[in-house]
Amino acid sequence: MNITEGDLLEFQERLIDACNDLCGDYEPTACRLDDYFAWNENPDIFGAEGVAIKCVFIKKISWIRMYLIGNERHNIHSFSQALFQSESNGCEGNEYDQKYTFVEYQPVTEQTKLDLSNVLGPGWQSTNLQLKRIDNIRDDIQFVGALERVHATLPAREMVANIKLNQQATDPSDDSIEISGSVRE
């Protein structure tokens, strides 16, 4: 959200490096939203139902979800906004795999927080945005524990996500569920 493509790629690389340092016997993956689905040029062409199905899939398969926040002034990707709005505001717990995490790419200004609270929807005030930095996440023992749990449960989550997708995709001719081949463990 409010981040350039270049900054997003750089953050993704830094996150992968941090995860690789923390995981000795396996190689974790850090995917962006567009790594999950073939969006074509417009992710909204599939309508609200297609977006809802994709949100379910991403939340089932990706227990650790981070929303990267920057200070750039441009429109937030509509699917990123839809995914966030599908999140439960009442998530309890401190573990990374029990709730989503806001991460700042650079120190986020108060004006950016205020602008984002308007975009994120009702009930979100700038005081709700508790932002973390990549260095804080790397040093957080809860993040290491979440990585281990996510790795151990990946095959079962993939199965559940695929079952949910099949149940929700009622039109067999609907090709809106084309999953990108770049998603991997």
Q: How far apart are CA 63 and CA 181, in angstroms?
A: 19
| pLDDT: which is higher, 38 or 39 | 38
What pLDDT does 127 receive? Answer: 55
Question: Residue 170 above 60 pLDDT?
Answer: no
Burial (Cβ within 10 Å: 0-12, 13-18, ≥19) of residue 3? buried
Among 11-15, 81-85, 91-95, 173-177, the range with the most confident prediction by mean pLDDT is 11-15
Report which residue type is found at 127. T
Residue pointed to by tokens 């750039």: 72
What's the confidence (pLDDT) of residue 174?
47
Q: How far apart are CA 143 and CA 22, in angstroms?
A: 9
Using 50, 70 and 90 to split pLDDT, how confident is the model at 179? very low
102-124, pLDDT tens digit by residue?
898 888 888 888 877 777 766 66
With 0.85 as the threshold, say if the pTM is over it: no
Distance CA 59, CA 65 (A): 8
Query: Measuring CA to CA, which residue among 89, 12, 57, 66 is closest to residue 179?
Result: 57
Distance of alpha carbon 96 from alpha carbon 147, whole angstroms: 8
pLDDT tens for 77-109 read: 677 778 887 876 555 556 788 778 889 888 888
Residue type, 2: N
CB 79, CB 43: distance < 8 Å = yes
* 103: β partners: 68, 132
Please report the pLDDT score of residue 183 as a whole number. Answer: 44
**The tokens of 183 are what?**
């998603």
Model confidence band, residue 125 (pLDDT cutoffs 50, 70, 90): low
Query: Burial level of 90, CB count in 10 A (0-12/13-18/19+)?
Result: exposed
